[in-house]
Structure 1
Amino acid sequence: MADFNLNRRQFIQGATAVLTLSALQAKGLSFTGTAKNMRVALIGAGWYGKSDLFRLMQVSDVQVVAISDVDSNHLQEAGKLISERQISRKVPALYKDYRKMLANHQLDLVLIGTPDHWHTLQAIDAMRAGAHLYLQKPVSIDVLEGAAILSAARKYNKKVQVGTQRRSTPHLIDAKKRVIDQGLLGKISHVEMCCYYHMRMNGNPLLERVPDFLDYDLWTGPAPLRPYDGLPHGGWWRTFMEYGNGITGDMGMHMFDAVRWLLQLKWPKKISATGGIYVQKEGKSTIADTQTAIFEYDDLNCVWQHRTWGTPADPEYPWAFIIYGDKGTLKGSVMKYEFIPIGKGDRILQDVVYEKEKFPEDLKEPRIELHTAPATRRHMLDLLSAIEHDHLPVADIEEGYISTASCILANLSMQLNRPLVYDPQKKICVDDPEATKLLRKSYRAPWQHPYRI
């Protein structure tokens, strides 16, 4: 495998010859250097896994040598689509079991786009096999899984870019530079974050025979084995706490992570939450349809609210953050931002950036999120730069761990009906042994939790 780590002297000597990420973006997102020869693999070849991989392939001539998925239909389709986009036109090697793929190939970079309950084991196995990572969020479904990934990344000296691409979203980068960094908000003491999408499926499908093209036992992996009631793909799995962290840990993590990045926040001092299944009680889904969480910092509260029913508080910002300062307010979403000054001053508005002219192939890709494609491309470029020039990516695994764990702790607070204070050094909930036990979920045999107590 190519050695991408540069010592400090080599880096300083070569700095003048290296294009910075901003320069790369200004030149149309091209990338040069060792990244062009990187051997890449994908774990989880469904919708978003392929989407992430295609964004990487748009900005670097990587070699996609292998992919794995427990659904043979996904696998065959992805192999064909990748071959059509590769310069070599080669179909990558196809695997049902990602462990065999890691054993058979020397990989430089692995993208992970599987359901959340698989992220931790696959991430650690891939790093142990020698690969850097692009890891979809959330990084884990319990707090100590996240701690284990962070430990592994530092132990194996691997770069991990978490798929919290709000940190690479052009219009939000502009908001940070023009509003936050210029101090236009004044003293900031309150943040509201929300999601009012009706995204909780909550159906009652009948039990079925597992289709031949799906290895359902391997799909389930370390999670509890639910009776099979149809393909979990397409979002059905997201409505179960067995496989993820609910809407707070899914949509809320994105907005909380964006706020932390904008305001340079780390771990909350205290986390509390209330909620549950208040309205949509008729179906199987186990995630909350209503939840409010408070992430407390010194002189600052970040408040999250989601409902999967009713109308949004502001129809223009159904999934968003609002940062309140004593000099103005900043509203932000995946589609736009606006700064509203108090008193005199100019309003600042900017819409999402599309790149349809630069990347016309985006318009032909099924299910692509056109508004997030530019952000994901920049996220990939930042990761390639981190690998080649040995710096932490903008959404480093430590940041992903903080954002993921904070949302999980909000879920635990809701479950226990009391506030929680997490000590990230001791890996405990302070003065709360019951909550501390919940930081680590039980794994289904024979899978073993990666965090050793």
Structure 2
Amino acid sequence: MPISAINRRDFLKGATAALALTALGAHGMSLDPQAKPLRVGLIGAGWYGKSDLFRLMQVAPVEVVALCDVDENMLRGAADIVNQRQKQRKKPRLYSDYRKMLNDNKFDIVLIGTPDHWHALPMIAAVKAGAHVYVQKPISVDVLEGEAMLAAARKYNRVVQVGTQRRSTPHLIEAKKNIVDAGLLGKVAHVEMYCYYHMRSTANPPEQPVPAFLNYDMWTGPAPMRPYDGLPHRRWRNFMQYSNGIVGDMCIHMFDAARWMLGLGWPKSVSSTGGIYVQKEGSANTSDTQTALFEYDGLNCVWQHRTWGTPANPDYPWGLTIYGEKGTLHASPMQYDFIPVGDGEKIHRDAVFEKEKYPEDLAEKDIELHAAPATRLHMKDFLAAIEKGSRPVADIEEGHISTASCILANLSMVLGGRPLVYDPAKREIVGDPEANALLARPYRQPWVHPDVAKV
């Protein structure tokens, strides 16, 4: 007799937990608890910077040597938490300038959790200083920044892991292995990716004085200087000056997951349309409605986001759907569902949580509990790559492809929706001088845009 839907869910829940543990064992470092701790630094001590650091501290013996942030209050708060969590009870050195931090200390690993416009320069500086790097996604705000970051990682032979942790999400690892790789989908010819979160601000706050504890000039760095209208932490995602919008924030995760699951490289062409169609009242300048098309031979990956209205599927407000001739796979950070064509058996899987193993997660402010196991596994994969001298699952090149493709979508939207064909060997958009002029954003002086030939 077939297993009932309820029993199958219980069975698969246990199977996923076992798979997660197996994956952790298979991809983790064989670290000796008595070994000398890895010397770690964090640049960007805000929400996700701290989250990444704490996940690393949970899976490896580390000494957090230094923290860097331009907000003195945030920096001191992060230092207090690190001091409590460090076994040595040693307080890290504090910096407001990443260049001085890298100059004063020798690091094995540097984590970069800054806003997007501050990823490229610190990452390149860190690998030049001899550190392996874990950098958040998207890796860059323009395509040529990403090219320079990739070139630097290869030139200095450093491992660089990108925070696209869907590649290390336990239930998605299972979906790739048991659904996609096992052939249950059959021929795949269409992928839909989407986000319907109401995550875009409609506020329009007035200009105000910059508080003494924030170095706003350094926070802005190479980006254009906006009038200060309140603390920019997490609000920066609403502005294209500092980010790649919702495509760069949310699409990159799902597009990267689709590429990983299906073994896809650079798309043949990228096009996009959209804009601010509904939420016109606020100061945010990211699109509230956008569709992007990433084309491959015999396969299209389509992205859509709306920051208004309702999701197409309430169970999947952010995720991807892979359509095959034999079935359909819905996947998100929270779950997956396989629906076969015909009378076959449906398969459901929920996200893995590790609350019992890591009870400290429950007391951590703003933690994404469902993402913590994925980030821990991502860190273990990063550490294993350092130990073996190999490429991690979210290597900088993979992060660059996913990031640059999303940037190309935004460029296409600005250029009226025309398809853009990027040649990574020549680092140019084929036959489109107007688009090529947008591959590198102008930097605010005195900051200098990284050059592939000079990293």
Q: Partners in 1 of 2:30 and 2:284 — Cα distance? A: 44
- Which residue does the alignment assign to 2:122? 122
Residue 330 (1) aligns with residue 329 (2): yes
- Which residue does the alignment assign to 2:215? 215
Shift of 1:246: 0.4
After superposition, the C-alpha distances for 1:279-329 in whole angstroms (9 at most, x for unaligned) are: 111111110000000000000000000000010000100001000000000
After superposition, the C-alpha distances for 1:186-230 in whole angstroms (9 at most, x for unaligned) are: 000000000000000131101110000000000000000101000
- Which residue does the alignment assign to 2:431? 431
- Which residue does the alignment assign to 2:394? 395
- Which residue does the alignment assign to 1:287? 286
Aligned AA for 1:198? H
Aligned AA for 1:60? A
Shift of 1:451: 2.1
Residue 363 (1) aligns with residue 358 (2): no
Q: Partners in 2 of 1:154 and 1:406 — Cα distance? A: 21
- Which residue does the alignment assign to 2:166? 166
Change (3 A) 1:26 1:127: closer
- Which residue does the alignment assign to 1:178? 178
Shift of 1:347: 1.0
Shift of 1:452: 5.2
- Which residue does the alignment assign to 1:446? 446
Alignment of 1:402-413 (within 5 A): 402-413=401-412
Alignment of 1:7-406 (within 5 A): 25-26=24-25, 31-33=30-32, 37-233=37-233, 235-406=234-405
Shift of 1:332: 0.1
Q: Partners in 2 of 1:289 and 1:446 — Cα distance? A: 33
**In structure 1, the residue corresponding to 2:293 is in which secondary structure?**
strand
After superposition, the C-alpha distances for 1:139-169 in whole angstroms (9 at most, x for unaligned) are: 0000000000000000000000100000000
Shift of 1:27: 9.3
Q: Which runs of 4+ in 1 moved over 4 A?
A: 21-24, 26-31, 33-36
**In structure 1, the residue corresponding to 2:65 is in which secondary structure?**
strand
Q: Conserved in 2, the CA contact under 8 Å of 1:30 and 1:59?
A: no
Shift of 1:61: 1.2
Q: Conserved in 1, the CA contact under 8 Å of 2:28 and 2:383?
A: no
Q: Partners in 1 of 2:238 and 2:262 — Cα distance? A: 31
Q: Conserved in 1, the CA contact under 8 Å of 2:58 and 2:376?
A: yes
Change (3 A) 1:298 1:311: same
**In structure 2, the residue corresponding to 1:271 is in which secondary structure?**
strand
Q: Conserved in 2, the CA contact under 8 Å of 1:171 and 1:337?
A: yes
Aligned AA for 1:372? A
Q: Conserved in 2, the CA contact under 8 Å of 1:36 and 1:60?
A: no
- Which residue does the alignment assign to 1:16? none
Q: Conserved in 2, the CA contact under 8 Å of 1:24 and 1:31?
A: no
Shift of 1:344: 3.0
**Gapped regions of structure 2 (runs ≥ 5):** 1-19
Q: Partners in 1 of 2:77 and 2:452 — Cα distance? A: 38
TM-score, normalised on structure 2? Answer: 0.93
After superposition, the C-alpha distances for 1:431-453 in whole angstroms (9 at most, x for unaligned) are: 10100110011000000000258
Shift of 1:361: 0.6
Aligned AA for 1:259? A
Aligned AA for 1:263? L
Q: Conserved in 2, the CA contact under 8 Å of 1:110 and 1:131?
A: yes
Shift of 1:32: 1.0
- Which residue does the alignment assign to 2:11? none
Q: Partners in 2 of 1:105 and 1:51 — Cα distance? A: 22
Shift of 1:346: 1.5
Aligned AA for 1:444? R
**In structure 2, the residue corresponding to 1:126 is in which secondary structure?**
helix
Bigger CA drift: 29-38 or 253-262?
29-38
Aligned AA for 1:261? W
* Number of residue equivalences: 432
Q: Partners in 2 of 1:387 and 1:33 — Cα distance? A: 15
**In structure 1, the residue corresponding to 2:385 is in which secondary structure?**
helix
After superposition, the C-alpha distances for 1:232-274 in whole angstroms (9 at most, x for unaligned) are: 01x2110000000000111000000000000000000011100
Q: Partners in 2 of 1:331 and 1:83 — Cα distance? A: 42
Change (3 A) 1:23 1:190: closer
Aligned AA for 1:200? R
**In structure 1, the residue corresponding to 2:380 is in which secondary structure?**
helix
After superposition, the C-alpha distances for 1:381-437 in whole angstroms (9 at most, x for unaligned) are: 000000011110000000000000000000000000111101011111111010011
Shift of 1:24: 7.3
Change (3 A) 1:181 1:28: closer
Q: Conserved in 2, the CA contact under 8 Å of 1:31 and 1:60?
A: no
Q: Using the aligned pairs only, state the percent identity.
A: 66
TM-score, normalised on structure 1? Answer: 0.93
- Which residue does the alignment assign to 2:7? none
After superposition, the C-alpha distances for 1:19-56 in whole angstroms (9 at most, x for unaligned) are: xx975724997851497521000000011100100000
**Gapped regions of structure 1 (runs ≥ 5):** 1-20
Aligned AA for 1:148? A
Change (3 A) 1:31 1:58: farther
Q: Partners in 2 of 1:352 and 1:230 — Cα distance? A: 36
After superposition, the C-alpha distances for 1:323-346 in whole angstroms (9 at most, x for unaligned) are: 000000000001000110001322
Q: Conserved in 1, the CA contact under 8 Å of 2:29 and 2:384?
A: no
Shift of 1:117: 0.1
Aligned AA for 1:283? G
**In structure 1, the residue corresponding to 2:303 is in which secondary structure?**
strand
